[in-house]
Structure 1
Amino acid sequence: MGSAVDAKDAPSRLLKVAAAQVGAVHRWSDRADTLNRLIRLLEEAAQTGALLVLFPELALTTFFPRYFIADENELASFFEHGEDVTGSKNTKKLFQRAHELGVDICVGYAERTTDGHSYNTCVYYSARLQRVITKYRKSHLPGTQEPCKDPGAINQLEKRYFEEGQEGFRAFRVPGLVDGALKKSLSIDGDASSEGRGDPIVGMLICNDRRWSEAWRVYGLQGTELILCGYNTTAWAPHLHGKHNQSKEQSKADAYFHHKLVMQSNSYTNSCFSICAARCGLDDDEFPLIGGSCIIGPDGRIIAEAQTEDDEVVFAEIDLAACRPGKQTVGDPSLMWRDPEC
Structure 2
Amino acid sequence: MSRKIRVAAAQVGAVHKDAIKSETVKRLITLLQEAATHRIQLVVFPEATLTTFFPRHLFTSQEELDTYFEHGADISQSPDVKPLFLEADKLGIDFVLGYAERTPEGTGYNTCVYYSASSKQVISKYRKIHLPGTVEPFADPEAVNQLEKRYFTPGDLGFKAFRAPGLVSDAVKKADVKEGEATVGKGDPILGMMICNDRRWPEAWRTYALQGAELLVFGYNTGGNMAHLWGSKPMSPEAAQQEALFHSRLVQQANSYMNACFSISAARCGLDDGKYDLIGGSSICSPEGHVVAEAKGTGDELVWAEVDLGECRQGKEKTFDFGRHRRVEAYGLIVERTGAEEVELL
Which TM-score band (shorter chain)? Answer: over 0.9
2:163 to 168, 173, 176: 173
Whole-angstrom CA distance in 1 between matches of 2:180 and 2:275: 57
Q: Which has the higher contact order (CA 8 A, sep 6+)?
A: 1
Is 1:93 the equivalent of 2:83? yes
Is 1:59 the equivalent of 2:60? no
8 Å CA contact 2:216–2:262 kept in 1: the answer is: yes
Aligned equivalent of 2:122: 132
Is 1:311 the equivalent of 2:297? no
Whole-angstrom CA distance in 2 between matches of 1:335 and 1:146: 47
SS at match of 1:288: strand
Is 1:42 the equivalent of 2:32? yes
Whole-angstrom CA distance in 1 between matches of 2:266 and 2:59: 26
> What TM-score comes out, normalization by structure 1 length?
0.93
Aligned equivalent of 2:246: 257
Aligned equivalent of 1:331: 320
Task: Report matched runs for 1:1-342 at 5 Å.
Answer: 11-188=1-178, 190-192=180-182, 194-243=183-232, 245-334=234-323
Whole-angstrom CA distance in 1 between matches of 2:205 and 2:178: 29
Kindly report the root-mean-square deviation, in angstroms, between the aligned alpha carbons of the 2 structures: 1.2
8 Å CA contact 1:109–1:120 kept in 2: the answer is: yes
Structure 1 stretches (4+) deviating beyond 4 angstroms?
Answer: none
Judged with a 3 Å threshold, the aligned counterparts in structure 2 of structure 1 residues 189 and 263 are, in CA distance, closer, same or farther, namely: farther
1:103 aligned partner, one-letter code: I
Whole-angstrom CA distance in 2 between matches of 1:90 and 1:121: 17
Deviation at 1:54, TM superposition (A): 0.2
8 Å CA contact 1:23–1:310 kept in 2: the answer is: yes
Whole-angstrom CA distance in 2 between matches of 1:56 and 1:127: 19
Judged with a 3 Å threshold, the aligned counterparts in structure 2 of structure 1 residues 36 and 334 are, in CA distance, closer, same or farther, namely: same
8 Å CA contact 2:315–2:321 kept in 1: the answer is: no
2:194 aligned partner, one-letter code: L
Whole-angstrom CA distance in 1 between matches of 2:138 and 2:180: 56
8 Å CA contact 1:22–1:280 kept in 2: the answer is: yes
* Cα deviation 1:20-52 (Å, max 9, x = unaligned): 000000001111211100000011011101000
8 Å CA contact 1:16–1:49 kept in 2: the answer is: yes
8 Å CA contact 1:221–1:335 kept in 2: the answer is: no
Whole-angstrom CA distance in 1 between matches of 2:297 and 2:178: 48
Deviation at 1:198, TM superposition (A): 0.4
2:258 aligned partner, one-letter code: T
Structure 1 segments unaligned to the other structure (5+ residues): 1-10, 337-342
Whole-angstrom CA distance in 1 between matches of 2:178 and 2:196: 38
2:8 aligned partner, one-letter code: A
Whole-angstrom CA distance in 2 between matches of 1:190 and 1:161: 50
* Cα deviation 1:196-255 (Å, max 9, x = unaligned): 110000000000000000000000111100000100000012211213522111110110
SS at match of 2:49: coil
Deviation at 1:335, TM superposition (A): 6.8
Deviation at 1:190, TM superposition (A): 4.6
8 Å CA contact 2:46–2:268 kept in 1: the answer is: yes
> What TM-score comes out, normalization by structure 2 length?
0.92
* Cα deviation 1:126-152 (Å, max 9, x = unaligned): 001110001000000000000111111
The number of residue pairs the alignment matches comes to 325
